[in-house]
Amino acid sequence: MTRAESYTAPVEDYLKAIYDLERAGGPAGTNEIAQRLSIAPASVSGMVRRLAEHGLLAHERYRGVRLTEAGRRVALRTLRRHRVIEAYLTQALGYEWDTVHQEAERLEHAASDELIDRMAAAIGEPSTDPHGAPIPTREGEIEERTLLPISDLAPRQRGRVVRVSDHDPARLRYLAELGLRPGAEVECVERAPFGGPIRLQVADIERIIGPQLAASVLVERAD
């Protein structure tokens, strides 16, 4: 991974957001980027144009933008800093998993790659952050696994929680109360029709959650 060139915090935030949107479903549109960054669409258009001029984005006519290889490297470097910081705060400093996202958002732009590497080494080179998101390597490689939300599990189907969204602290605290952390074994007991609640077995305890919450918890099927 190239380390010589540095970018401003807004540039890194844009590229990181576009990377996430691409993973969720293809090219990123102006409105989706604006929503993800909580800014006006008009502001996005100007920044997207500048990022494209610098070779970090490529336009897909009538569809949106995609990261170029250079843009992807910057996005993954930023994600590495963010996720290593989250892992370090929880493992080395005892932070709760619902408090580290905002801390990492502030620190990720200031920390050097050398500091991040030392933090990762100090906690045993973790492969994921506290919420199960994969941490890119120093070389810019990342293992993005194909997962499915709990809401897609059929009755009597089992899975293991791999990843949860880290953007809402209140939701993370509630998931912790339910035992729905990465590594937890779950079984879908019953799904009510027409988008109704889902009954789960989590560590021998029955839980009932709504489909919206179930969609935010990603699992791998257990054979």
Strands (E), the chain: 57-60, 64-67, 148-149, 158-164, 185-191, 198-202, 205-209, 217-221
Give residue 167's pLDDT. 84
> pTM above 0.85?
yes
Distance CA 164, CA 166 (A): 6
CATH 2.30.30.90, the chain: domain bounds: 148-221
Q: Where are the alpha helices (DSSP H) in 38-160?
A: 41-53, 69-91, 100-107, 113-122
CATH number of 148-221: 2.30.30.90
Residues of the chain with CATH 1.10.10.10: 1-143
For the domain 1-143, what is the CATH code?
Answer: 1.10.10.10
Is the pLDDT at 33 greater than 90, yes or no?
A: yes
* Model pLDDT for residues 75-85, shown as the tens digit of each residue: 999 999 999 99
